[in-house]
Structure 1
Amino acid sequence: MNAISPGLAGSGAGIAFEEARARVLALVERPLPAEEVPIDSCTGRVAAAPVRARLSLPGFDQAAMDGYAVCTSGLRPDAWLPVAGRTTAGEAQGWLLPGSAHRILTGAPVPVGADSVIAQEDVLQVGVMVRIGMAPDAGAHLRRRGEDIHAGDLLVREGTLLDWRHVTVLAAQGIEAVGVRRRPRVVVISSGRELRRGGETLRPGQIHDSNQPMLRSLLQAWGAEVRARPVVADDAASMRDALCSASWADLILTSAGISVGEEDHVRDALLALGGSLAVLKVAMKPGKPLGAGRIGDAVFVGLPGNPQAALAGAVTFVRPLLARMAGTEEPGTLAARAGFGMRRKTGRAEFVPVGLSLRGTDLWAERTGPDGSGRLAPLLHADGLGFLPAGQDAIEPGDPLEVLPFGAGAAWVGEAAGA
């Protein structure tokens, strides 16, 4: 494979966004290996294989409430019945004596011969006798064996992102461990002589590094195992050393240094180490100087240095990459209405920080701040990025707008449906 793929930078504006995404996702040839973890550790992991029910649930006919098990055949309203027998949850199945009522508590197996449970509040008890009111229908207040889940039912599909719902059902099946995809391992490298960690004193011209903490937080939320390198100086040797030390990773992610300035050394360091690039410049705003390829066994993505540009690249390229590594579906988008208007030059896809709110049953997206890829304040109130395709020159209030949510888009969909 050539170190630089043909057309990796496209035109002067860069490779079309959709083509660049396709090239980047093609860098992942197969999901990561599977491993087995206890179910109490599987939340946020991706199922590596289907899981089918071992047991029918309920496993036996059981009482749905406290009361008296009876046989409805020949039972008349206002009948008096002697109470014979008692079964609680966790005990073996008992027997219903003919012409009697059997005391039963919620979850207990229904005695042989009974076909209904009368709620305890619907009987009058006097000593060892009970008087029923209306004769119940057969099957009243019973949970039938297998009415919830049948043995062999598909419980979890391969590629499912597991959460508390799956843990609950798997636990009820007596399953102790489940096969999941190994978490993607990501090394994050920030570069720039002006960058300092939090807590360090700033000298003239210096700033605190916000990209590395932002990316680390996003990656962890997206299910990755993350290691962050110390900030790398703006020289080729330091960048080569940083890349060499990241052999543990499935994905190496750099912030800044991917452009063509005299202080940008990521590209040259990558190629000097035998790496390759499939993308170098993308027709998107913000985030044009974005590179992607491979180095050794790892996928490489080089993000721009401005925070909003790094964020746009992470959401649109890195998040779907991680999903592909984990063998799960790429996060979806939300259909919203624009709460703002803007005119723009065509030729580049644009991503605008937006806040989401419900108006009636519609989801609306408002801009959270002015243009500027170096601005941080607009991120405080943003719920996602509004997407304007390269050919769209304007958007008016009320127009449809596709939004890439930062968090769980399903929450907004649910709220809109329930409004």
Structure 2
Amino acid sequence: MLSVEEAIAAVLEGAGPLGAERTGLSDLPGRIAAEDVKAQMTQPPFAASAMDGYAVRFDDVAVGAQLRVIGEAPAGNPFKGKIAKGEAVRIFTGGAVPDGADHVVIQEDVTREGDIIAVKDAQESPRNIRAAGIDFRHGDILAKKGDRLHEIHGALFAAANIAEVSVCRRPKVAIFSNGDELKEPGAELAPGEIINSNHYALCAMIRSWGGEAVYLGCAPDSEDDIRDFFRRGAEADVIIPVGGASVGDYDYVKSAFAKEGGEIRFAKVAVRPGKPTWCGRLDDARVIGLPGNPASAIVTAALFVQPLVRRLAGEAWSAPFLKARLTAPVEANGGRESYLRAQEKDGAIAPSPNQDSSLLLPFAAANALIRRPVNAPALRDGDDVEFVRLR
């Protein structure tokens, strides 16, 4: 039985980015840049007015000075001439500043009659002009290879005249449940049946880590049926069977996996909850079997599926064991590394009151898992603990 660190290392053995693909700007959030993204233009590409007013020579705008308006420069339609001494060009926000101008006097600081403006307020220094390239210049690196892209990158790349970028391919993760007792939401339940819920959390978690989650359905308690589900997931990069991994008389997942030609890497992990977690390979697909209990499935997905999905998606990722200060005591731990659902905020963390592995409700409020090492002593309010962020 492996430790958590040994299991993570085994899961990640040989794992790396799956290759690159080009994508449009609407599909960037959560993707990993496969190469440096360089600006294809300077932004802004010209000196632009930051205000509505008049483009002038600063030396000409003493209080009381009068200037002749010789044209205008709305956004997108630059004035084609050059401003000389005593001249001004009516300009609007975003308009290109004409040659010869080094200042925009705002319209509130002048009076105008016909083509003549008079400066009524003192101008302290040249201003109200955005210089060309103050945001970025052609060739600047806007995102580095390996960066995780987010919602703003689409607008940034578009402003740099980039229509598509090279990103790491999302790993395809196929999930299936197992158990005759499981029914989908909305079903009428017979005695002994329960609702199949784990895959909703797992699919959402996998997408948030940069993977493409595909739910295959629920396999009955039959080796032949389970083998068919493994075959249906054969094109995936990762296959995640949920449930059927313990030692009961109706736990057929690992035997079906073996008959399909799968090779088990490890069969148990010294972790609570989640001891039956297992890992293997089936042809080119990596397989991580998760327990069926809701808490066990979610905890072990965060510990073992998360690093694999992130690594395959191109992220340089290692288990994020962070530190926080307890706001309530925790009991001593036993012979398996344990993870307690908890709420963390601003470096303070409180364990959920009920840690039963069948319960989902505590996860609705929990955003972290407190890590309790093997045989860890009891801790008091104010002690430091390690934790893994859930969301």
Report the TM-score range of the alignment, normalised by the length of the smaller protein.
over 0.9
How far 1:92 moved relative to its partner? 2.7
* Aligned counterpart in structure 2 of residue 355 of structure 1, from 340, 343, 364: 343
1:178-224 per-residue CA deviation (whole Å, 9 max, x = no partner) reads 22222211111111122122222222211111222222232233332
TM-score (norm 2): 0.93
The reply on whether 1:248 has 2:231 as its aligned counterpart is: no
- Describe the SS at the equivalent of 2:167: strand
In the other structure, the counterpart of 1:7 is: none
* Aligned counterpart in structure 2 of residue 44 of structure 1, from 30, 33, 46: 30
Structure 2 contact 211–313 (Cα < 8 Å) conserved: no
**1:347 partner letter:** G
- Describe the SS at the equivalent of 2:23: strand
Aligned pairs for 1:12-161 (under 5 A) are 14-28=1-15, 30-73=16-59, 75-94=61-80, 95-132=82-119, 133-138=121-126, 140-161=127-148
Aligned pairs for 1:1-400 (under 5 A) are 14-28=1-15, 30-73=16-59, 75-94=61-80, 95-132=82-119, 133-138=121-126, 140-330=127-317, 332=320, 334-357=322-345, 362-400=346-384
Aligned equivalents of 1:160 and 1:87: distance in 2?
40
Structure 1 contact 65–141 (Cα < 8 Å) conserved: yes
Structure 1 contact 304–310 (Cα < 8 Å) conserved: yes
Aligned equivalents of 1:125 and 1:280: distance in 2?
84
1:29-88 per-residue CA deviation (whole Å, 9 max, x = no partner) reads x31122222112323322222101111111111111111111123653331222222111
**1:367 partner letter:** P
Aligned equivalents of 1:126 and 1:74: distance in 2?
18
Aligned equivalents of 2:296 and 2:98: distance in 1?
67
Structure 2: stretches of 5+ with no match in the other structure:
none
Aligned equivalents of 1:128 and 1:235: distance in 2?
89
Structure 1 contact 290–303 (Cα < 8 Å) conserved: yes
1:342-398 per-residue CA deviation (whole Å, 9 max, x = no partner) reads 2223432211111234xxxx4322223312111222122212222223352222212
Structure 1 contact 81–99 (Cα < 8 Å) conserved: yes
Aligned equivalents of 1:230 and 1:110: distance in 2?
62
Deviation larger for 281-290 or 380-389: 380-389
How far 1:136 moved relative to its partner? 4.2
How far 1:15 moved relative to its partner? 1.0
Percent identical pairs in the alignment equals: 36
Aligned equivalents of 2:299 and 2:85: distance in 1?
73
Deviation larger for 343-352 or 371-380: 343-352
**1:109 partner letter:** A
Paired residues, what number?
388
**2:370 partner letter:** G
Structure 1 vs Structure 2 CA RMSD: 1.9
Structure 1 contact 17–349 (Cα < 8 Å) conserved: yes
Structure 1 contact 116–136 (Cα < 8 Å) conserved: no
In the other structure, the counterpart of 1:3 is: none
**1:337 partner letter:** R
The reply on whether 1:402 has 2:386 as its aligned counterpart is: yes
